Amino acid sequence: MEGIEIRTNVQYIKALRRVIVIMDAEPGTAEAVELKTLFASLKQYEQKHFVLPSFESTENKKPERKEAVIY
């Protein structure tokens, strides 16, 4: 099966609906091949149209320590 280029939001929604229908396709079937192709096309569309904001990893940040004030 050739790759499917998803260009519009309507095509994107239709592809998602099709994925839901064939999600449990048996390996080696035409539907399994279609599912793999749809996943690749959806991923490509999402990478282009749904840009996630970058963020700093909290793993590299050390917690701020406040000095205790003694009066």
The reply to whether 1 falls in a domain is: no
The reply to whether 34 falls in a domain is: yes
Tens-place pLDDT, residues 7-29: 999 999 999 999 999 999 999 99
The reply to whether 4 falls in a domain is: no
pTM of structure: 0.69
- The overall average pLDDT reported for the chain is 86
Q: What residue type is 10 in one-letter code? A: V
- State how far the Cα of 56 lies from the Cα of 70, in Å rounded to an integer: 34
The reply to whether 63 falls in a domain is: no
32, 25 contact by CB (below 8 A): yes
Tokens representing residue 41 in the block: 């096309």
The reply to whether 60 falls in a domain is: no
Number of domains composing the chain: 1
